[in-house]
Amino acid sequence: MAHQKANLPTKICVVCGRPFTWRKKWAAVWSEVRYCSERCRRNKARS
């Protein structure tokens, strides 16, 4: 059965403001995810 990518939850990155979607690696910590990427997480102090 194929994945339904259109139905994945999304959030807005607190650094760059872009939307990003759920990833399997975030399954256990999705409620704590605030950044779309490691790069944004590292740059959080600059914005």
Tell me which residue range forms the domain holding 39: 11-46
What one-character DSSP code corresponds to residue 11?
E
Q: Of residues 14 and 45, which shows the higher confidence score?
A: 14
3: in domain:
no
Give residue for tokens 């102090």: 45
DSSP 3-state assignment of 9?
A: coil
- Long-range CB pairs of 8-14 (<8 Å, 24+ gap) are 13/37, 13/40, 14/44
Does 5 have pLDDT greater than 80? no
More confident position, 28 or 7: 28
Exposure on the CB side of residue 43, measured as CA atoms within 13 A: 12
Number of independent structural domains in the chain: 1
In this structure, is residue 4 part of a structural domain?
no
pTM comes to 0.77
